[in-house]
Amino acid sequence: MPEKLKDRRLLNNQPIRKFDYIPPTYCCNSDLNAALIKRIMKNYLIIKGILVAFIFFSFIVSVQILFAQDSTDIPILPNLSDLEGTWLEENDSSSKWVFHNNSANYYYDNELIYSFTYRVSDTSPQCGEEVQTGDKIEFLELTDTSDGEQKCYYINGLNGDTLSLSPFGQSFLLVLIKQ
């Protein structure tokens, strides 16, 4: 739309319609176009550089992940002798577990409550239930020596002085601290 017509519409409070045709000779300044194109190209090159850098770093990270040492070689229980010893429940120091020579005894206020045999495994089934198995999944199975009843726990982890267990079918953690 010619500038004169545009100005006249503005003076008469007539809206400029969205689809009015404005010939390029009336709306565009060639110096303005050149500056605009230069700015667009600069932004394009910046975005292109960021995209190339992102793709490059993504490639580097994926190669590192692909060739990284497989952490599944490290078992949850690096040494079963780490389980042996006296453990107190984190939230109740009156509850004590003693693991020794494949036997586990549970004491409360220093009175023997249960006596178990135990085994650690990574196979299914556990306590008569089919369970998910994998490289980093291990279980503690306790068998009561008096009646043969079994109790099973997921071993969440064991580091030198802390043992974390999750009883099957229950949604709490049993955290034991080594004495």
pLDDT tens per residue across span 58-96:
888 877 777 664 444 444 555 667 888 999 998 898 999
pLDDT tens per residue across span 43-61:
888 888 899 888 888 888 8
Question: Could you give the CA distance from residue 179 to residue 176 in angstroms, rounded to a whole number?
Answer: 9
Burial class (CB in 10 A: 0-12, 13-18, 19+), 97: buried
The residue extents of the domains of the chain are 3-67, 80-178
Percent of the chain whose predicted confidence (pLDDT) is above 70:
69
> Is residue 31's pLDDT more than 90?
no
- The enclosing H or E element of 100 equals strand 92-100
Does pTM surpass 0.85? Answer: no
> Is residue 108's pLDDT more than 90?
yes
| pLDDT at 72 (0 to 100) | 45
Length of the chain: 179
CB under 8 Å to 129, separation ≥6 — which residues?
A: 152, 168
Q: Is the dihedral of CA 10, 12, 15, 19 positive or negative?
A: negative
- Does domain 80-178 fall under CATH 1.10.490.10? My reply is no
